[in-house]
């Protein structure tokens, strides 16, 4: 058992305190992304945007959004001031609660910011949580996080989150689509991840992903492609991670651009952007 945090880090969203300028930043970001995502984002993501009625103008009210999300998959949304400790984050996920930053970036930061704001957290993550299979994957991930903490393997599991939840690609109807929140919430990366010759696009493999470092400061050098959300969930709940963690202890990490002989390479990247 992991410890239950005495402080769950949640705060009121204080929806009525957003200014007109803050709502306008959301509307600008929303309009930019929905204009390009129909041909790029996974069907599950696009369905989520509809089911949750995210097209309603302004920053969503978490109470109202939680009602729709709860009806769809039993998840809810709570506000936090910024990044929370790993154990707290995992406990929330295991309890089907997604924590979202309640602040929004300034109008001069539309394309880049370091801490996850309400646009990244809500537009990027919440549509996928309306998908029943992905919703189960996220809860399973939270339980896995609680266990990884006690096994000293948080670094491994964080990489799984990064290369699926944050920057994942999926193969749908013979084409690549984006579903990772960091991609769908970024105008530049929504194009780069699918169209640019620079990054590698590699068939998803659990151990391979957990062996691979990632960069947090720029577009990814490699993306991992899942065949379906069912398969991602199946792998996560049916695999015993403890022996994988143990095996990885004896092997060197891979850098974000490395390719290996066992990789199913979908695109061999030029890495021109990164170098």
Annotated binding site for Fe cation: 120, 125, 166
- Residue 11 DSSP label: B
Binding status of residue 8 toward ligand HBI by CB under 6 A:
no
Residue 99 contact among ligand HBI, Fe ion, none, beta carbon within 5 to 8 Å by kind = ligand HBI
- The answer to whether 115 touches 82, Cβ cutoff 8 Å, is yes
Q: Mention every residue, 6+ apart, whose C-beta is less than 8 A from residue 143.
A: 90, 94
Cα 124 to Cα 133: distance, rounded to the nearest angstrom: 17
Binding status of residue 220 toward Fe ion by CB under 5 A:
no
- The answer to whether 217 touches 274, Cβ cutoff 8 Å, is no
Residue 89 contact among ligand HBI, Fe ion, none, beta carbon within 5 to 8 Å by kind = ligand HBI
Residue 181 contact among ligand HBI, Fe ion, none, beta carbon within 5 to 8 Å by kind = Fe ion
**How many residues make up the chain in this entry?**
275
Among the candidate windows 70-78, 83-91, 168-176, 213-221, which touches ligand HBI by CB under 6 A? Answer: 83-91
Task: Print the binding letters for residues 160-199 with ligand HBI: x by CB under 6 A, - otherwise.
Answer: -x--------------------------------------
In the block, tokens 């390479």 appear at 265
Give ∠ CA 61-62-64 in degrees, rounded to 5: 70
In the block, tokens 């204009």 appear at 35
Residues that bind ligand HBI (rule: CB under 6 A) add up to a total of 9
Among the candidate windows 155-163, 181-189, 200-208, 224-232, which touches Fe ion by CB under 5 A? Answer: 181-189
- The answer to whether 93 touches 141, Cβ cutoff 8 Å, is yes
Residue 142 or 269: the one with the smaller Cβ distance to Fe ion is 142
Task: Print the binding letters for residues 93-132 with ligand HBI: x by CB under 6 A, - otherwise.
Answer: ------x----------------x----------------
Residue 15 or 103: the one with the smaller Cβ distance to ligand HBI is 103
Which CA distances in Å does 73 have to 136, 139, 226?
Answer: 8, 11, 22
Residue 99 or 170: the one with the smaller Cβ distance to ligand HBI is 99
Q: How is 37-68 classified by DSSP, letter by letter? A: GGGTB-HHHHHHHHHTTTTSSSSPPHHHHHHH
Cα 11 to Cα 205: distance, rounded to the nearest angstrom: 37
Residue 48 or 116: the one with the smaller Cβ distance to ligand HBI is 116
Contacts with ligand HBI by CB under 6 A lie at 80, 83-84, 86, 89, 99, 116, 158, 161
């Amino acid at each position: 058992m992991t410890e239950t945090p005495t402080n769950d880090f949640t705060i009121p969203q204080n929806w009525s305190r957003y200014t007109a300028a803050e709502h306008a930043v959301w509307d600008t970001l929303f309009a930019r992304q929905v204009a390009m995502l129909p041909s790029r984002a996974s069907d599950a993501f696009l369905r989520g945007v509809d089911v949750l009625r995210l097209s309603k103008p302004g920053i969503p009210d978490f109470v109202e959004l939680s009602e729709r999300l709860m009806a769809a998959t039993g998840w809810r949304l709570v506000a936090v001031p910024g990044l929370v400790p790993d154990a707290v984050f995992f406990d929330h996920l295991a309890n089907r609660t997604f924590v979202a930053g309640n602040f929004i970036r300034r109008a001069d930061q539309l394309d880049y910011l370091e801490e996850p704001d309400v646009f990244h957290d809500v537009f990027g993550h919440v549509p996928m949580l309306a998908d029943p299979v992905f919703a189960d994957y996220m809860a399973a991930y939270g339980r896995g996080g609680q266990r990884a903490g006690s096994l000293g393997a948080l670094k491994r599991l964080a990489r799984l989150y990064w290369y699926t939840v944050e920057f994942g690609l999926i193969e749908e109807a013979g084409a690549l689509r984006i579903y990772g929140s960091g991609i769908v919430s970024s105008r530049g990366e929504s194009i780069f991840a699918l169209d640019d010759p620079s990054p590698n696009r590699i068939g998803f493999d659990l151990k391979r992903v957990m062996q691979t470092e990632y960069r947090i400061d720029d577009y990814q050098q490699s993306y991992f492609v899942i065949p379906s959300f069912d398969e991602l969930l199946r792998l996560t709940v049916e695999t015993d991670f403890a022996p994988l963690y143990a095996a990885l202890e004896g092997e060197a990490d891979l850098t974000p651009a490395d390719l290996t002989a066992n990789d199913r390479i979908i695109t061999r990247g030029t890495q021109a952007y990164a170098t």
